[in-house]
């Protein structure tokens, strides 16, 4: 799988993301609750032995109910706190997305769910996820 597809499949295993809600790629639908994963950047560095380290930057967007009612806003905050903890637990367990031709070595959440847009009924949140992988040199390990 590509890094985007693999990360989506990996996020689908997160117990905080309801399996009944859609997790799209590069598209956040109109449903009251939904998610979209986007690859926002990719850097690659090659060392003198030919081994490559890649860093993939993802944004997970979530649309969730929002408004003056405190309970639904707390639920959104708890969702992102739980997602952040889940990503940390995956890092500690070395349970990474399975990417073809690359070996993931680190994953981390870079923020805790920022509101990037809102109206009277819903808010769009964003959490940034960084995934680091390594490719072994075709000349063997250094």
Least confident window among 93-97, 130-134, 136-140: 136-140
The residues with which 54 forms a beta bridge, in sequence order, are 44, 133
Helix and strand counts by DSSP (H, E) for the chain: 2, 6
Query: Which residues, in sequence order, are CB contacts of 53 under 8 Å at separation 6+?
Result: 44, 45, 47, 132, 133, 134, 135
pTM, to two decimals = 0.88
* pLDDT reading at 142 higher than 50: no
**Any bridge partners for residue 43, and if so which?**
55
Task: Give the pLDDT score at 137.
Answer: 64
Per DSSP, helices labelled H in 17-142 are 70-93
| Whether 51 contacts 135, CB under 8 Å | yes
């Amino acid at each position: 799988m590509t890094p985007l597809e693999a990360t989506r499949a990996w996020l689908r295993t997160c117990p905080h993301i309801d399996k009944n809600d859609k997790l799209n790629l590069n598209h956040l639908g109109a449903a009251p609750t939904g998610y979209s994963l986007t690859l926002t950047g990719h850097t690659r560095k090659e060392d003198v032995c030919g081994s490559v380290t890649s860093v993939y930057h993802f944004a997970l967007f979530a649309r969730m109910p929002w408004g003056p009612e405190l309970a639904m806003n707390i639920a959104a905050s708890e969702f992102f706190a739980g997602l952040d903890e889940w990503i940390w637990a995956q890092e500690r367990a070395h349970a990474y997305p399975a990417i073809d031709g690359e070996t993931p070595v680190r994953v981390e959440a870079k923020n805790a769910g920022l509101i990037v847009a809102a109206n009277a009924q819903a808010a769009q949140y964003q959490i940034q996820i960084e995934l680091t992988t390594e490719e072994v040199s075709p000349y063997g390990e250094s």
